[in-house]
A and B are shown apart, each in its own frame.
Chain A
Amino acid sequence: MSKYKMHLLICGGTGCKASSSDAIAEKLKLELAANNLQDEVQVIMTGCFGFCEKGPIVKVLPDNTFYTQVKPEDATEIVKEHVVKGRKVERLLYVDPTKKAAIEDSKHMGFYRKQMRIALRNCGFINPENIDEYIAREGYQALGKVLTEYTPQQTIDIIKKSGLRGRGGGGFPTGLKWEIASKNHADQKYVVCNADEGDPGAFMDRSILEGDPHSVLEAMAICGYCIGATKGLIYIRAEYPLAIKRLKVAIDQAREYGLLGSEIFGTSFSFDIELRYGAGAFVCGEETALIHSMEGLRGEPSNKPPFPAQSGYMGKPTNVNNVETFANVPPIILKGADWYSSIGTEKSKGTKVFALAGKINNVGLIEVPMGITLREVIFEIGGGIKNGKKFKAVQTGGPSGGCLTEKHLDTPIDFDNLIAAGSMMGSGGMIVMDEDDCMVSVAKFYLDFTVEESCGKCSPCRIGNKRLYELLERITKGEGTMEDLERLRNLSQVIKDTSLCGLGQTTPNPVLSTLDNFYDEYVAHVVDKKCPSGQCKSLMQYVIDPEACVGCTACARNCPVNAISGERKKPHEINQSICIKCGACMEKCKFDAISIK
């Protein structure tokens, strides 16, 4: 038995690694060795803790101390003070922004209090590169149980009864998907894991693969058993090198233990998994495009039917599920369908992982039960809006979703409510916007992304989105007309109705939802030629208040295009036809004489 008295967990997710968490781990190990404590204190690299805002994180157990924004040079103090003398390093503790008090124990942090971790159960807890730690957390027992105690149909029934729905965006019932694939007969079938996470700001799949890769492998094997497949493929984008590395390590370890390969658990069931790399095209998250990409063809979607469950990879029945969906499967098998379906709302069971981003205090990854309200997520877990600004909107569902406003804050979050509110669950990205964000620009930003990512196969998406983008550009430049607003709406509807795949069918959502919720802002751009948030450069003017200007010349000297003129000690003026609206004058003015109009 290990003699360790203390464990130091260090976040080894991509975010914290970029902030040199590797160096922190090395330094901690050196310091421990210098104090002859290497046999008493273990240093473990784990997956993401989710609290990326304040990374890198170091967590000390068993006393549950949560250190934030740790630097390699802090290692000495952590070891000397906390490990050796038992005194917590106060300056590294998380300070509650509302109460201004340091919180020692992560369980008392607002960020964690309302969370419920199922898919992320092992992230930030185990070493993802060590299968033993996964097994210690009941890993692979769900697979063992299914193979030795249940028939494929019984297993499918459990998943069906649990109410689990696809976490990639569509929300299709997972058990039903498996059942359809199981009923199609073929000599070979495939289980595919969709790890082509493409929404801007979403990183839940990456974090699961980096923090708990075995849970996905185990679930894929369970799915293989259910549908009668012996081969699994993980389609992952090449931009996720750490996730790829950890998956490879995990697959090798699982093979070594006989948990992948032939005759698993002494039964006749065989299953193995390979990786397939994507080049990071957004459209390849669509299952038919993903399958074509894996076959070595262009990543373009094709018409359904035939559905992948009938004719997918290499023309064989194929079941595609997203990473987060798979990560939910082992706990459902072990704890039962009733346990899972007791969590969440009537039609959306279980939990959902969200990536909080934008103008929010606690940027990071959270997992909450379905049915929680946006208010709880944004103001309690997320800690509210940055710099005390006012909340304006939140974009859910990435570029395919829509924006929700103040009036939706108390709506319980689930698949159906979000659609009813004009948005969607998507993969779970949540981008929070404050009063300074211009909603027309936000819609334009998403269109810019989708124009870039449209595969070009069908014309509504290829041409229609480009035209939408041009309309929005005209409006933000102050050249739009009221007819343009009508045109935006009509064109959006046509694109939605006629596009071939989910990408085109959803790209107009940001336009439609901002039109619905912020029509006044559009009108202000078109009629008054004003951007209420002061974001659209073409629509704003920097002006000098002659009363407040003392003629110090600081603005004129710092203007890069010499647009400001005036005599010393007399009010200055900005020539609007030369001004490029860089804002340098306003920054330099010490007398608050320059404002945006």
Chain B
Amino acid sequence: MTKVKSLADLKKMKETLQAKIDLREKGEAAENLVQIKVAMATCGIASGAKNVMDFLLEELEKRGINAVVTQTGCMGYCYAEPTIEVKLPNADPVVFGYVDTKKADEIIEKYIKNGELVDGIIPVNYESIDNK
């Protein structure tokens, strides 16, 4: 076991260890972060939602975006799976349909980074799944 020899040592350790509890800290502060829900019911999983979720987790981390990615049940848009709901801080949630990794990439670059809407939004009278 390496010993902690200086404060700088300890701070470096903290940075590496941060990943262990990152998920928990983000969860506690979710309302100030980008929140993404991936629909992971049978329909979503069959259409590749798992890949999309892995892609989002990995890419958001790589691109240094603080986000909370969770899975949720079927949103009722089975025709458009995989679907994801993105909620930027202080904004209403938006649902995107037919999200593959390419689309996910576009959503990160345009909507999450710049707030620019992209194609594929499931529109009209959409309410967040939580309000139903």
Contact = CB atoms under 8 A, between A and B. Distances in A.
Interface of A: 1-2, 4-7, 9, 61-64, 84-87, 104, 107, 125-126, 132-133, 135-138, 140-141, 144-145, 147-148, 256-259, 265-266
B112 interface: no
A140 B14 CA distance: 10
Interface string B27-43: 11010000001111110
A46 to B, nearest CB: 9
12 contacts: A7-B24, A9-B24, A62-B68, A63-B27, A63-B30, A63-B68, A86-B38, A86-B73, A144-B10, A257-B3, A265-B7, A266-B5
A253 B77 CA distance: 51
Contacts of B10: 135, 140-141, 144, 265
B40 A141 contact: no
B7 A5 contact: no
B91 interface: no
B17 interface: yes
B103 to A, nearest CB: 20
Contacts, number: 106
A508 to B, nearest CB: 45
A60 B31 CA distance: 16
Interface in B85-109: none
B40 A85 contact: yes
A398 B39 CA distance: 51
Interface residues of B, number: 38
B23 A7 contact: yes
B21 interface: yes
Given A86-B41, A141-B11, A257-B1, A4 B23 contact: yes
Contacts of B70: 6, 62-63, 86
B6 A266 contact: yes
A265 B61 CA distance: 32
A136 B17 CA distance: 5
A135 B3 contact: no
B28 A1 contact: no
Contacts of B4: 140, 144, 257-259, 265
A147 B70 CA distance: 41
Interface string B52-76: 0100010001000000111111000
B21 A137 contact: yes
A6 B68 CA distance: 10
